[in-house]
Amino acid sequence: MKQTALTIRTPEDFDFASTLYGHGWCTLAPFSVDASALALEQLIVLPSRKLVLCTISAGSESLRTIARSITPLSPSDRIAVHRIVSRCFRLGDDLGPFHRSVASEPAYRWIADRRAGRLLRSPTVFEDLVKMICTTNCSWALTTAMVRNLCNSLGRSFDGTRRAFPSARAIAASSEAFLRARVKAGYRASYLLELARSVDSGRLDPELWMDRSIPSSDVYAQLRMIKGVGDYAAGNMLKLLGRYEYLGLDSWVRAQYARLHHGGRRVKDSTIAKQYRRFGQWRGLLFWLEMTRQWYDSKFPFVE
DNA sequence: GCGTCCAGGTCTACC
DNA sequence: GGTAGACCTGGACGC
């Protein structure tokens, strides 16, 4: 096994724990967390098709990344690791305007203080989209099981114990019956298969949504055309694309909003939307952070 | 042990 | 455009 150490510089307003634990993505394979070492383990597939197991932790104004691979990494492989880790940890996102806009309000000053707002994402938009569909209409435990099953049954093996997230081609080559029986995706199986086949054939290229010149409303509309992607999934996909104009409401945040603002009484979605309208392009991010504030005040729920 | 409910929703048919 | 019912799974809960 070859080992390569990389130091990846982070922005001034970056915080490792806030990014790692800001939502549940760190618990979805092929991510895993070593809570005692405060490190993220991530198995990634490079453009050269090499598999690299990365252990990422906080350094001094940097991410300390140990990359393990079967064969040595070439200079272009090292650049690819740097690019993928930076993308997952949202190092290129400029949250300065957001932090400055909320710092003037006492209730939200903690967001800038905690350098919160970077939501961990996967190496590809396709991977995030598959995972997002797996969060719909089920418990978080089932989501983690479905994603783990996808990796274990269709992902490439690194060392016999760890498997990467499967490519669109690998999922496309499976079948609905397989995705139901082995992945336990249930009725989502047909959605995942159709999505994977669209991406594999080139009919759909989710990476295009990273282009900031495309209006968010257009990306949202394209997401909503995908079977299995409704308001919740589309809204939260946009957050992973760095677009925060949609709230992405689900039963958990609705209940949380009711607890925080209405003594537990449920309110209409339009009431929630009205409450956050004044935060403009940042409303989706501010909403999510307000709903999860207790995680930052006490303990992140994903820490063992 | 068994039945029911519901969880980080979405789709389709129908009105 | 709004709504009812169906849809996989698995854990929690009541009996």
Predicted structure pTM score: 0.97
pLDDT at A190 over 80: yes
Strand order in the sheet with A62-69: A2-9, A62-69, A51-59, A39-45, A31-34
Q: How confident is the model at residue A174 (pLDDT cuts 50, 70, 90)?
A: very high
Report the alpha-carbon distance of residue A122 to residue A99 in Å, rounded: 24
Over residues A215-231, the pLDDT tens digits come to 999 999 999 999 999 99
Q: What is the pLDDT of residue A85?
A: 98
Which nucleotide C1' is nearest A149 CA? C9
In this complex, the answer to whether residue A186 has its CB under 7 A from any atom of chain C, a nucleic strand, is yes
Amino acid A180 CA to nucleotide B6 C1' distance, rounded Å: 21
In this complex, the answer to whether residue A187 has its CB under 7 A from any atom of chain B, a nucleic strand, is yes
Q: How confident is the model at residue A93 (pLDDT cuts 50, 70, 90)?
A: very high
Amino acid A258 CA to nucleotide B1 C1' distance, rounded Å: 37
Report the alpha-carbon distance of residue A256 to residue A244 in Å, rounded: 19
Which nucleotide C1' is nearest A187 CA? C8
pLDDT at A204 over 90: yes
Average pLDDT of the residues of chain A: 95
Rounded to an integer, the average pLDDT of A79-91 is 98
Rounded to an integer, the average pLDDT of A206-222 is 96
Which nucleotide C1' is nearest A138 CA? B7
Report the alpha-carbon distance of residue A277 to residue A274 in Å, rounded: 5
Q: How confident is the model at residue A263 (pLDDT cuts 50, 70, 90)?
A: confident
Over residues A40-83, the pLDDT tens digits come to 999 999 999 999 999 999 999 999 999 999 999 999 999 999 99
Q: What is the pLDDT of residue A301?
A: 84
pLDDT at A202 over 90: yes
Over residues A100-126, the pLDDT tens digits come to 999 889 999 999 999 999 999 999 999
